[in-house]
Chain A
Amino acid sequence: MRVLGIILAGGMGGGIWPLTSKRASAAVPVFGKYRAVDFTLSNMVNSGITKVGILTQYNPRSLMDHLGSGKDWDLDRRRGGLFVLQPYLSSGSDKMGYRGTADAIFQNMTLLRRGDEDYVLIGSGDHIYNMNYSEMMKQHLASGADVTFVVKELDNSYNLSDYGIVEINEDGRIVGFEEKPKDPQTDLASLGIYFMNKHLLMDLLYATVPHGGYDLLLDVLLPNIRRFFFRAYRFGGYWRNVKKGILEYYRTNMSVLDSRVRRELFRSKNKIYTKLKDLPPPKVGATGSVQNSIVADGCIVNGIVRNSILFRSVTVRAGAVIEDSIIFEGSSVEEGAHVICSIVDKDSVVRASKIVRGSREHPLAFEKSSVL
């Protein structure tokens, strides 16, 4: 089965401002060394997909820097490989930019038309999960579905009204779909992962986008819910969308301190790949103390770190205390400073003796290159 992967990574991620002030939500750092997009990208590669188009739009610099040639995902290939699809100006249109997810794919129709793939898998750059799509693809073929939607039963740690809620019958057919309902009828949410025949997608796009239907879900797929067989495939594993808000972002990161989450995401044989940076192992000095924390390469810790996530090359000086916090790459926490329940973006400095305190329900978030 030849499959083309498409990752929607143009989202602005306004919900997790200021972490997205200088980057797309797909490029938001997670778990000490990854970017959100690493998960979907690695999942595709681990499922045997070797041609992946990434649709970018908002603040793409950091994302493009991260992806590079696709080398770290073995996507620097002669056949297929990684295609970063930026919005462009052309003689046929006067408007720059993608007007929606369907429009974005439509404007890059060449990628779909040129390849010899039969199927297309559409995912999002904002989702954190480790899933091998092979079983889902197999069921898609066996069931004769036109489009497979990956769905998940969400427990009460998710706000159901933030998601697309589906209703299915006993054959697994999707019979109802409500986008972000006030009063959800089921707890089964669509994860925004779609698998379908490539030519069906092309036909639907040609039929819809030129008439103003720019959204893949609302304008292209859902109006055909009765005409086609939309099948739900249940995913039972860990899944989070980091774009939903600062609190959700914070809790998602903190969840990696749970060994079950680490085992599922990182100790499976499907590895999550990310941009390689050659940094030395982190060092805990004589005055340092680290408990229940993630410490990435290049860190030097001489202060106290508890229940926190330190990204690469974070410096924690003697007497500094970091608790329940997330410190991004290259930041330093100076002597005697306290950082509690906060998210400190890249290359920031928390000056000596400064106290920064959020709460677990309302973590504070500070922009890149802040001096606190």
Chain B
Amino acid sequence: MNTVALILAGGQGTRLGILTEDIAKPAVPFGGKYRIIDFTLSNCVNSGIYTVGVLTQYRPHVLINHIGIGRPWDLDRKDGGLTILPPFLGRKESDWYSGTANAVYQNIRYVDQYNPRYVLVLSGDHIYSMDYNELLDYHISKRAQGTVACMEVPINEASRFGIMVTDADGRIVEFQEKPKEPKSNLASLGIYVFNWPFLRDVLIEDEEDPKSTHDFGRDIITKLVSENDVKLYAFRFDGYWKDVGTLESYWESNLELTHPLPPLNLYDPNWRFYTHSEEMQPAYIGSKASVVDSLVSEGAEIYGTVENAVLFQGVFVEEGAVVRNSIIMTHARIERGAQIEDTIVCERAVIGEDVKIGIGEDAPSKLDPKVYTGRITVVGFDTVVPAGVSIGKNAVIGNGVRPENFASLTVEPGGFVL
């Protein structure tokens, strides 16, 4: 057992608003049939890494149900395989994971039992396709103690990331966490490889430091960069990587998949993305339907008009309904005459007859302008929007909202019903 992968999947994803109210960010549906964590899990097995620990914390039920024993990823194995690592109470130890570094620290025993040479620390929040062998080979060839996967980002966006400054050899000489004035455009992707005995000592030291917040980027990497005898390298990755951290980027990266040659190739036979999905018949597109620039998943039945949309499994679009620039999740139903634009409709939601969503002018959100930054309207899980309602842009209809929760037939732009 050379390499053990640890996937940090406790993320709350607060800026995804009601999408992550009841489920962890790694369990948020993506791309018609996947959930976000599928990409990291598939990267692991496609890279030949079959010992994977998934660290959960925030609202793990949907996530744990989805992952199960790892069967869709061939991770139901006799040796290694998939292990879910929830926070636990010890005799003396604390309980909840207080930070990403602390989460790994609390699972030192799990990693120790495999006695690996390398540990990959990954995040379950990202959509990307990466062969970890290239990262590992780079790490080994540099005789590094730790290597951080990085990507060049546009310099005006650099202040959103952890920025690495390297020397000519690729060795990291400075780390800036979300800097106002970035010295480089090489952003950390939150993907790390460490020599395990080395990381183990670092984690124990960090745990004893009362000033540390026990975060991988902020504390561990900062500290290691400042130590002269530690060889920490930056691995330059130039493939597809996205942290779908905001509603805007979530919506964009989904719809990007409908373009002719999207940067994330779901159709590569040598790099498949695996998922746990319900067994359903192939999609049916009806005689009067019109579907362009869209993904239509299994079990879907389309009788209306669909343009530039990602439709998940079992979605039903009735005759006369129009769906544009939208994401419609599993088992949602769009009834006759409804018109939906720039909207995310969550699982099992029902959009009643002649409902109009995403119409009119944009307006700042009255619920939370930091999360709901404009244009996109979100309809929550299991919500029923009654017939005839019209909903403006940038509105929020919460999870599990019933028809009687609607005070009037109009929800203004930026408005909400919870």
Contact = CB atoms under 8 A, between A and B. Distances in A.
A290 B285 contact: yes
A291 interface: yes
B: contact size bracket = 35 or more
Given A286-B260, A298-B267, A281 B33 contact: yes
B287 A291 contact: yes
> For A262, A271, A280, A282, which residue has the most chain B Cβ atoms within 10 angstroms?
A280
Interface stretch (B183-191, B240-248, B275-283, B358-366): B275-283
Contacts of B284: 257, 259, 262, 293-295
B291 A284 contact: yes
A294 B31 CA distance: 20
A8 interface: no
A284 B293 CA distance: 5
Interface string B252-294: 0000011010000011000011110001111111111111111
A284 B279 contact: no
Contact of B292 (A272, A274, A286): A286
B298 interface: yes
Interface in A105-138: none
Interface string A19-56: 00000000000011100000000000000000000000
B295 interface: yes
A357 B84 CA distance: 55
Contacts of A334: none
Given A280-B31, A285-B260, A285-B293, A293 B267 contact: no
A234 interface: no
B283 A295 contact: yes
B53 interface: no
B293 A286 contact: yes
A49 B298 CA distance: 27
A288 interface: yes
B279 A282 contact: no
Contact of B298 (A271, A290, A297): A297
Chain B at the A interface: SS class:
loop
A296 to B, nearest CB: 4
Interface residues of A, number: 34
B273 A294 contact: no
A279 B279 CA distance: 13
A262 B281 contact: yes
Query: For chain A, what secondary structure do more than half of its interface residues adopt (helix, strand, loop), or is it mixed?
Result: loop
B294 A266 contact: no
A170 interface: no
B279 A293 contact: no
Contact of B291 (A31, A272, A279, A290): A290
A259 B72 CA distance: 30
A283 interface: yes
A32 B283 CA distance: 9
A289 B290 contact: yes
Contacts of A257: 284
Contacts of B274: 278
Contacts of A6: none
B290 to A, nearest CB: 7
A52 B126 CA distance: 42
A33 B290 contact: no
Contacts of A276: 72, 279
A121 to B, nearest CB: 22
B289 A290 contact: yes
Contact of B285 (A272, A283, A293): A293
Contacts of B273: 278, 280
B285 A295 contact: yes
Nearest to A42: B279
Contact of A280 (B280, B290, B295, B299): B295
Nearest to B275: A278
A348 B73 CA distance: 30
A31 B293 contact: no
6 contacts: A282-B283, A282-B296, A284-B291, A284-B292, A292-B287, A297-B298
Interface of B: 31-33, 72, 257-258, 260, 266-267, 272-275, 279-299, 301, 310-312
5 closest pairs, A vs B, by CB?
A280-B266, A281-B32, A32-B282, A296-B282, A281-B297
